[in-house]
Amino acid sequence: MYFKPRIFISSSLCLNTIGESIKDVLEKSGAEVILYQKDLVPSINESTYLQDVLESDFVIFILDEFYGAKNKNGISQTHEEWQIAFKRKIPKHVYILRNPSEKQDEELEKFIKENINQNDSAYYYDNEDDLLNRIRATTFTIAKDIVLSNYNNLNINDEIVCKLAYDRDYKKALDIIKLFDDIIEFHQLKGWDLFRTNIVITFSDRYNFTSEYLSRYFINDLCNYLFVEFLDKIQKYSQMVSIVAESGDDGRIHFKRCGLQFEYCINKYPGVVDYDELLELEKEIYEKYNEFKEYIIQRKANAEINL
């Protein structure tokens, strides 16, 4: 049976401008999203939204500089929703505005100090665009927390969970391997080194791994570690040189293994470049990719032996 998680968004902000974008990101990830536009005023249907929190699989709390208007219990609606999520052990993330234009009110400071600790998944954002990016970057973590929460509350066979995790990782890894093997083959057939075009950097950008927004791409720890190491080498290469496209020297390639199509341009290295260092780094990129690929192949072989 297909499981569609319910995600409740709790905030004292007016989310008229960003709320639908957040909802769209989460719905595209397969979730049902409950979002109330409170505009700092407690809902007149208090029992409705409290029941929605109780029935949710995950709660996202978004805080700015305001605590919010107090309800009949003497606390804000967001505060009450936090209490419900905490008591019912509903997994949650909290996003806190960093350097607000107005000073945080004392009630909000007290709420954060007394309720949010190092065991909570807390993220800081600078503006609405940054908030959206952070939620987008943590969708996998949200999904993982929902699955783990449901797993802890149900008697699910460990072998089934492990197989689902393995199947997911293997499918994602196989897509990466097909694409990068195509990229290598394309450059070799042309007689080019791996960075003669911008294709490898475009490949790396598809996964958008940065230190601040780093999120897990694979469930398996070693698989994720090897993949990140591989991408880090590509990022290091791209930062060492300023790559400029030569005008009029570009094209389009359809990669057969993965079915993707890339537009590309020929790279030119301006100024003084240490080519020996670049060649050494290219060698390291191949090595890291082969480590990742060989690990995936070995995991597949071990899984088939254990069937």
| Alpha-carbon dihedral 125, 128, 133, 135, rounded to 10 degrees | 70
Q: Where are the domains of the chain?
A: 6-153, 158-305
Within a 13 Å sphere around the CA of 271, how many CA atoms are in the beta-carbon half?
7
**Burial label, 187 (beta-carbon count in 10 A; 0-12, 13-18, 19+):** middle
pLDDT at 290: 95
pTM of the model: 0.51
pLDDT at 7: 92
The whole-angstrom separation of Cα 169 and Cα 174 is 9
| Fold of the domain built from segment(s) 6-153 | Rossmann fold (3.40.50)
Number of CB atoms found within 10 A of residue 305's CB: 7
Q: Which amino acid appears at position 203 of this protein? A: F
| Alpha-carbon dihedral 45, 46, 49, 53, rounded to 10 degrees | -170
φ, ψ at 58 (rounded to 5°): -160, 145
CB 292 within 8 A of CB 224: no
Q: Which amino acid appears at position 67 of this protein? A: Y
For 218-277, write each residue's pLDDT tens digit. 888 899 899 989 998 888 887 776 555 554 556 788 887 777 888 888 877 655 667 788
For 76-111, write each residue's pLDDT tens digit. 888 999 999 988 889 999 999 887 766 778 888 889
Kindly report which listed range (6-10, 66-70, 271-275) carries the lowest average pLDDT score: 271-275
The predicted model gives 40-58 an average pLDDT of: 71
**Burial label, 91 (beta-carbon count in 10 A; 0-12, 13-18, 19+):** buried
The whole-angstrom separation of Cα 302 and Cα 280 is 33
pLDDT, greater one: 44 or 282: 282
